[in-house]
């Protein structure tokens, strides 16, 4: 089974998720600058989520690069990842409309954590389908960045009880961490 449609479907879902998030920024009723004020926090949560969905698309792109055959396990691991990413528009809207308050921040982090774990599961499914000596297994190695992200998402949960801005700072930090493109796969591929 080819990977063409898996990529096309994932691209489609991610493209729609990244775009419908903008619908959470409701057009304000007035036409003054002040009327824009309630939209500002939603705008910031939109930027954060746009970054995260971009990162997932980007990493997904790299990950699939190395895939040769698609098993049923990979298909479902991929759909599982898309499920958690599909909750981004909901938690983004909730986070923004409540000005980054405690419970929405916690929920946003939970979705990030689940998506991070789902991505890891997908990597494992791909490695197990291609063998531990495959290109991907070498490329991902112990995937330090992926592991660190998950650890940081976990840390963000208790930290939210100290102050939820600490959790938000972690979400931004992890996003910036991933903005640096993933050279590992590229490196192994060019060798």
Residues lying near its own copies in the complex (CB under 8 A) are found at: 1, 5, 7-9, 11-20, 22-25, 27-33, 35-36, 47, 50, 54, 57-58, 61, 65, 72-73, 75-76, 79, 82-83, 86-87, 89-90, 93-94, 97-98, 101-104, 107, 179, 181-183, 186
Q: Which is nearer to its own copies, 151 or 177 (CB)?
A: 177
State the nearest-atom distance from the C-beta of 163 to its own copies, in Å. 16
- The whole-angstrom separation of Cα 10 and Cα 15 is 8
Q: Which is nearer to its own copies, 32 or 162 (CB)?
A: 32
State the nearest-atom distance from the C-beta of 167 to its own copies, in Å. 14
State the nearest-atom distance from the C-beta of 22 to its own copies, in Å. 5
State the nearest-atom distance from the C-beta of 37 to its own copies, in Å. 12
The H or E element that residue 53 is part of is helix 39-65
Q: Say if CB 176 and CB 48 are below 8 A apart.
A: no
The closest of 56, 57, 62 to 136, measured between CA atoms, is: 62
Q: Which is nearer to its own copies, 14 or 150 (CB)?
A: 14
State the nearest-atom distance from the C-beta of 95 to its own copies, in Å. 9
Q: Say if CB 148 and CB 177 are below 8 A apart.
A: yes
Strand, helix or coil for residue 117: helix
- The whole-angstrom separation of Cα 164 and Cα 101 is 7
Q: Which is nearer to its own copies, 64 or 170 (CB)?
A: 64
Q: Say if CB 181 and CB 58 are below 8 A apart.
A: yes
């Amino acid at each position: 089974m080819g990977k063409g449609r898996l990529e096309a479907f994932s691209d489609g879902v991610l493209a729609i998720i990244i775009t419908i998030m903008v619908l959470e920024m409701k057009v304000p009723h007035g036409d003054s600058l002040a009327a824009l004020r309630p939209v500002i926090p939603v705008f910031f949560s939109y930027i954060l989520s746009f970054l995260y969905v971009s990162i997932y698309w980007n990493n997904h792109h790299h990950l699939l690069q190395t895939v040769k055959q698609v098993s049923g396990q990979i298909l479902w691991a991929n759909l599982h990842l898309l499920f958690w990413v599909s909750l981004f528009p909901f938690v983004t809207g909730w986070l923004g409309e409540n000005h980054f308050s405690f419970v929405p921040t916690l929920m946003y982090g939970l979705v990030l954590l689940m998506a991070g774990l789902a991505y890891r599961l997908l990597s494992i499914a791909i490695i197990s389908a291609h063998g531990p000596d495959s290109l991907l297994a070498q490329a991902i190695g112990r995937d330090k960045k992926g592991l660190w992200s998950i650890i940081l998402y976990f840390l963000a949960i208790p930290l939210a009880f100290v102050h939820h801005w600490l959790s938000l700072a972690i979400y931004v930090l992890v996003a910036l961490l991933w903005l640096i493109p993933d050279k590992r796969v590229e490196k192994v591929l060019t060798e």
